[in-house]
Structure 1
Amino acid sequence: MISTERPAAVQRWGRFGIVFAAVWLVFLFEPLAAGWHRRDLASGWIGITATLLFAVVFLSVFSSARRGRMRRELRPPLPQAIGDMTVLVALAVIMTVTLGEAGLASTVFLAVTAVTLLPAIAGGAVALGVAGVVELLATRAGWNVSSLPLAICAAAFAMAGVTALMNRNIALLNRRDEDELRVVQEERARMARDLHDILGHSLTVITVKAQLANRLLDVDADRARVELDDLERLSRDALADVRSAVEGFRGVSLPVEIARAREALRAAGIEADLPNSTDAVPTRLRELFAWTVRESVTNVVRHSGARRCTVTIDDRHVAVVDDGVGTDALLAGNGLTGLRERAAAADARVIVTHPQPRGFSVQVVAEEAP
């Protein structure tokens, strides 16, 4: 499961983020002072009230957007963003109507909020529109705010850069989580396939042998005992194979290697003819045969250029044959050298041949068990 818990440092910055936003409200002191100077008029109190509400709404919008980014949301839903912008614009209009030039201090906050909440193009258009309206109002009313449009554009541009950086980081984090989730899902699917390949046939054989032994108990006790011994061996081998699969293939298991060989050959575009059962292989040879399949199929995939690969297994013999080009360079390779050493330790022989007209064959033949 992908963890969504935020680090403690991120949580602390999230709590103090509202304080950093509140610092910029110092620029609203001018409209508050202008309203206080007009406190003998209704317009002054209306302007003060509108300014205070503007500050509260701005902090609320900023805090909401920050919480959304903590949840890895690039921006709030568009209807919510439009609603927040509408409220701020309405309050800014009231401030400007009641307080005059001082009320235009709200326009910088409008531009910054627009590029924070809205998509990039829309936010930039709103910021430019606000700067144009300020210029138009200042020209008609004769207000001395020549630097304000430039300040609006500069603040919007700076906030757009910060917002783009935060959105890029959020997108990277989301993509990382998606990749991790996909890896987990692929691993679960692979494990399910491997367990099916490992246990499907083995459990069927175990069930059949258990039924046979049960029927033979009253008919042929010696034969029933043989079946029960075989049943115990198969059960132990199946358990070992499952443990090997669950532990991530730290060891080798014959059914696991057959399953891996099937996937590797399929991915390489090589037609595979593989055994469905490995139950006949005695316990003492299963690891050796697993290494044989692993090393040989790896060579087939990497070096053979083959179109078909066949693996055959019985109680004393395993063979991996392909129809590729065949190369004597493999005879001195570390893989076959190690395989010969393993085979010698298990009283077996490695036989390498070149089938005609083309191909390469690796066989491991075990001596009769004493």
Structure 2
Amino acid sequence: MVSMTGAAGDEDALSPAVLLREDTTADPSWDERGPWEKFSWIFGIVWVVFMAFPISGALASPAPLAPRIAAAALLVVYSAVYIAAYIWMVTTDDWDVAAVRGRLALVVMIVIMVAAALLVGPEALGAGSFLVSIAMFTGHAKRAILLAAAMLFGQYLVLAVWLAAIPNGFEDLGVLFMPPAIVFVSVALVRLIITAQERHDVVERQMALVAERERVARDVHDVLGHSLTVVTVKAELAERLIDIDPDRAKDEISQIRSLSREALAEVRATVSGLRVARLGDELIAARSALADAGIDADVPSDAATVDPRHRIVVAWVLREAITNVVRHSHASSCRVVLANDGIIVEDDGVGTPADVAIGGFRGMRERVDAAGATLRLSEPGEGPGTRLEVQW
């Protein structure tokens, strides 16, 4: 008598209906909802076939014919209320509302079942398993399980008192104790699994959100770090040239304007998740940035050397590495070596400052680690300049 299946969210935030769909930010129309949500009611009402046992028990009781027919009719109504209550709850968008609806349904079902039992005897109490099933999904998990336990205990108490008061009660009808217990255990397990899945989904979405924030922060850092460094170098060059070579200074200023526009476009693309670094473009940009900074550049022009699977990561590594060479190295020359399984960037400068090695390369390390590669940065004292190597 499992009344719900599936989960998709935080129990304190999601509803029975939301458990059956992944999109928790919108309330889609019926036509837009998936088959799990449209037909989830089947999983609750399919168990109503077991109402045949208390109904047949009521008809077979030793009571007169009229009470037997009336009791059977009441149990049919009881089944209809169960089906309606389940559908009513599963289409609810809030657990607190579901709790109110579930409690109302329980009151109606208890009244109907007790009325049938008064007509034909304890045989009608076999329908009590459905009370446990409804109660198990009436609100948040802890309160719902406690309510289901109360339903189970109440049934056992009434059954025990009633069967003790009639001859051979326990021998003839003791089997009525078994179904509610089976339903309680099985449905409680399902409810606990759903709750665990809800928590897992919440953590998963939070981790995805954190990863996306880190991606945007890393990409914006790489894009702006490189672009602003090149803009700064060109601005300094234009400042020096403005008196001695005005035409070239104008050209540098024009390039600064173009770079600023490109940087703005790249930031917008990065935030929207569309930014993809291309190794061929980064090789050209690296050569230009080094030349503008007055650093002799030994940069290959053929991006095909690198395995296509690694080119995007290598492009990002190259961009960040050249940015740090231009910004921090005070080098006179820089060499870039491409291989099928990696890249080497080395310069003859003063070495990488400690704060840059710790913080400045963090985004690069995260990107490289995520790609399954290793990053090695030369330590102070290993030789002049800085040597950065990424290899798969």
The correspondence of residues 136-285 of structure 1 with structure 2, limited to 5 A, is 136-142=161-167, 144-146=169-171, 148-169=173-194, 171-172=196-197, 175-176=200-201, 178-192=203-217, 194-195=219-220, 198-199=223-224, 202=227, 221-228=246-253, 230-231=255-256, 234-235=259-260, 238=263, 246-247=274-275, 251=279, 280=293
Q: Which moved more, 1:76-85 or 1:123-132?
A: 76-85
1:80: how far off?
3.3
Tell me how far 1:200 sits from its aligned partner. 7.0
1:293 and 1:151 map into 2 onto residues whose CA distance is 73
Name which of 26, 49, 61 aligns with 2:52.
26
TM-superposed CA distance for 1:246, in Å, is 4.9
How do residues 17-96 of structure 1 correspond to structure 2 at under 5 angstroms?
A: 17-30=43-56, 33=59, 38=64, 47-64=71-88, 77-96=98-117
CA distance in 1, matches of 2:294, 2:115: 88
Change (3 A) 1:282 1:157: farther
Residue 363 of structure 1 is matched in structure 2 by 385
Distance 1:115-1:222 versus aligned 2 partners, 3 A rule: closer
Shift of 1:141: 3.7
For 2:350 and 2:245, how far apart are their aligned partners in 1? 41
How far residue 191 of structure 1 moved from its aligned partner, in angstroms, is 1.0
AA aligned opposite 1:231: I
**SS, match of residue 385 in structure 2:** strand
Amino acid at match of 2:103: I
CA RMSD in angstroms, aligned pairs only:
5.6
d(CA) in 2 for partners of 1:339 and 1:205? Answer: 22
Query: What SS does the corresponding residue of 1:171 show, helix, strand or coil?
Result: helix
What's the counterpart of residue 312 of structure 1? 328
- Measured after TM superposition, the shift of residue 224 of structure 1 is 3.8
Find the counterpart in structure 2 of residue 120 from structure 1.
145
Shift of residue 313 of structure 1? 3.2
SS of the equivalent of 2:328 reads: strand
Larger Rg: 1
Structure 1: which 5+ residue stretches go unaligned?
A: 255-277, 298-310, 320-333, 366-370
Q: Helix, strand or coil for the counterpart of 1:97?
A: helix
Q: Return closer, same or farther for 1:87/1:241 CA change in 2, 3 Å cut-off.
A: closer
Equivalent pairs counted in the alignment come to 298
- For 1:157, what is the secondary structure of its paired residue? helix
Choose the corresponding residue for 1:131, options 156, 179, 183.
Answer: 156
C-alpha separation between the residues in 2 aligned to 1:94 and 1:142? 22
CA distance in structure 1 between the partners assigned to 2:72 and 2:89 by the alignment: 26
Letter in 2 for 1:312: H
The letter for the 2-side match of 1:107 is G
Greater mean alpha carbon deviation, residues 14-23 or residues 237-246: 237-246
Alpha carbons of 1:279 and 1:288: their partners in 2 closer, same or farther (altered >3 Å)? farther
| Residue range with higher mean Cα deviation, 111-120 or 4-13 | 4-13
Q: Deviations over 1:48-80 (max 9, x none)?
A: 553232111122233445556xx8x88974443
- Give the AA of the match of 1:82: R
Tell me the distance in 2 between the aligned counterparts of 1:289 and 1:62.
Answer: 54
- Percent identity, aligned pairs only, is 21
CA separation of 1:114 and 1:19: change in aligned 2, threshold 3 A: closer
Amino acid at match of 1:227: E
Q: What TM-score results when the alignment is normalised by the length of structure 1?
A: 0.56
Which runs of 5 or more residues in structure 2 are unaligned?
A: 1-21, 284-290, 300-313, 353-379, 388-392
* Range moving further from structure 2, 95-104 or 141-150: 141-150
Structure-2 change in CA distance of 1:179 and 1:115 (3 Å): closer
Is the alpha carbon distance of 1:191 and 1:95 closer, same or farther for their aligned partners in structure 2, counting shifts above 3 Å? Answer: same
Query: What TM-score, normalized to structure 2?
Result: 0.53
- Structure 2 vs 1, CA of residues 154 and 48 (structure 1 numbering), >3 Å: closer, same or farther? closer
1:136 to partner: Cα distance: 0.7
Q: Distance in 2 between matches of 1:218 and 1:182?
A: 55
Deviation at 1:137, TM superposition (A): 1.0
The letter of the residue matching 2:107 is T
Deviation at 1:249, TM superposition (A): 5.7
How many angstroms apart in 2 are the aligned matches of 1:246 and 1:360? 39
Q: Which structure would you say has the larger RCO, counting Cα contacts within 8 Å and 6 or more residues apart?
A: 2
CA distance in 1, matches of 2:201, 2:53: 40
